[in-house]
Amino acid sequence: MQPTQEASAENRSERPLGHAVALVTGSSRGIGRAIAARLAALGAAVAICGRDSETLNQASAELTKFGARVFAHVADVTLRADVEALVAKTEAALGPVSIVVNNAGIGVFGPTHEKSEEDWDKVINTNLKSMFLMSKAVVPAMIARNGGDIVNISSLAGLNAFAGGGIYCASKWGVQGLSACMAEDLRTYGIRVSTVCPGSVATEFSGSGPKDASKVLSANDVAHAVEMIVTQGPRSFVSQVQIRPLSKPAKS
């Protein structure tokens, strides 16, 4: 028996990404893992990647609980060959990628003049170059299909300066500039390029040591912002989301 129109509408509402294939970088833990889980719960087939096979396998097992098709692949997204292989293998396993969340990121903090060239290369390559490489790998097919979402996880550090944040802020300000220009390049093809700019998030990633969990965001708060972007109406374009903790930490 064919489902009623009302039942079909209800299913689309509950799993609005049922026809989407999402690729989330840096998704074996933390924010990326939460985003991948949210997209899987919304019905998307999800590809995840990271450098550690054990945590990647754990994340993959978690995602399958949502009934999602999952593809997990060990990759270094700072390397063009790894990125191209990741995209090709994702599309072979799941189908054409319609959503990319560039989440992979690291932080090195301290006075810029005390940091090394290796520190600079590591942060810029992970936080910024990886987004350039991933976009180059997926955009041609998105243009051919006349649609897609690229969500770049930035930071409020991409909008504000702070002591000890020179290299990290440089990478995230770069993300802001790259994303804004790509958005203008690609919107005529129906492709949306958006940034999510969180403040402090309670994850293993931290620039200044442990934080009071009641005064910071959760990884799920960032995942919620990504959900809002990828489920928006077809004629709208949420270009940037800034997220701050509701409670401010006490000043010392």
pLDDT exceeding 70 applies to what percent of the chain? 90
Measured at the CA of 132, the angle between CA 112 and CA 238, to 5 degrees, comes to 95
Active site residue 168: yes
Instruction: Please pick, among 66, 71, 109, 168, the residue that the annotation labels catalytic.
Output: 168
- pLDDT the model gives residue 106: 94
CA–CA gap between residue 51 and residue 211 (Å, rounded): 26
CA–CA gap between residue 60 and residue 154 (Å, rounded): 24
CA–CA gap between residue 158 and residue 188 (Å, rounded): 26
pLDDT interval class at 1 (50, 70, 90): very low
Q: Is 193 exposed, middle or buried (0-12, 13-18, 19+ CB in 10 A)?
A: buried
Kindly tell me if the per-residue pLDDT of 207 is higher than 60: no
Nearest to 170 by CA among 208, 124, 132, 116: 124
Per residue in 7-45, pLDDT (tens digit) is 344 445 578 999 999 999 999 999 999 999 999 999 999
CA–CA gap between residue 29 and residue 203 (Å, rounded): 9
Q: Is residue 209 left, alpha or beta, with left meaning phi > 0 and alpha meaning psi from -120 to 50?
A: left
Instruction: Tell the CATH superfamily of the 17-243 domain.
Output: NAD(P)-binding Rossmann-like Domain (3.40.50.720)
Q: Which residue matches tokens 């985003």?
A: 35
User: What residue spans define the domains of the chain?
Assistant: 17-243
